[in-house]
Structure 1
């Protein structure tokens, strides 16, 4: 009995091949839209060190200063932006009203290698850039003796 190369039916020819390609296309398109949706809920943050300070910069264009919160939690820094918007339209001639509400909340948490001093940390917001400067704290390393 000889072995033939084409023992399997032509599953990947014809309609089954088109079916697999349409499923592949569906997931490719869905993931493109998911990526754009997820990128709306993230803002870029960069940080760098000088000899005495840690400088954190968050790019928040289009947001107002009063919508931004910076919270210190031990060695973590939480940057949150919350914006609520409500629009109401009354049209007396046609006797209807329309109300639209939206709430947008995005945040980032950063963990630094030292405790953050709340009183010595300063933040500024100008031209869509949030800049936080906190002094580096000396590491208080405590070692355990090994017996």
Structure 2
């Protein structure tokens, strides 16, 4: 996926007909090449997987949306202040027919990687991960000193 940063036209200036046609053509062309149908025959697939990040008083909770993945192919690493979630799975499918003397072998590989920067409030030694129902859940606990304290202050 490519993100383009471009200067917007002044809101008071109407777009020219040429710009409108160019935008329609470019959007259609991008949709065609980004469509899953176009990439269906790939043997190597690298994805940008969606991740939900939630924070509460106790921890940060990350949900890596990765249906159809195998738990054994995930790796979760912390190096310095970087938390990296990666996935690398290779699959080989072979069909043989001795009568007609042919053989077909297909290799598929699916990979992705997401990296998150951790701040000083995180307890790296307490990070937990669980893969269930197509979602890799990571619980990244906070240090005791980083947890918010709620108390009422008496006014004198």
Superposed CA RMSD: 2.8
Matched, 1:71 2:70: no
Q: Deviations over 1:80-130 (max 9, x none)?
A: 111101111111111111111111111111112237544311111111111
**Equivalent position to 2:134, from 128, 134, 139:** 128
Which position in structure 1 is the counterpart of 2:110? Answer: 104
Q: TM-score, normalised by structure 1?
A: 0.67
CA–CA distance in 2 between the matches of 1:100 and 1:53? 43
What are the ranges of 5 or more consecutive residues in structure 1 without an aligned counterpart? Answer: 1-16, 140-147
CA–CA distance in 1 between the matches of 2:32 and 2:118? 33
What are the ranges of 5 or more consecutive residues in structure 2 without an aligned counterpart? Answer: 1-17, 40-45, 147-156
Distance 1:115 1:93, change over 3 A: farther
List 4+ stretches of structure 1 deviating above 2 A: 23-30, 33-38, 112-119
Q: TM-score, normalised by structure 2?
A: 0.64
CA–CA distance in 2 between the matches of 1:94 and 1:25? 50
**Equivalent position to 1:41, from 47, 50, 58:** 47
CA–CA distance in 2 between the matches of 1:92 and 1:54? 56
Aligned residues: 119
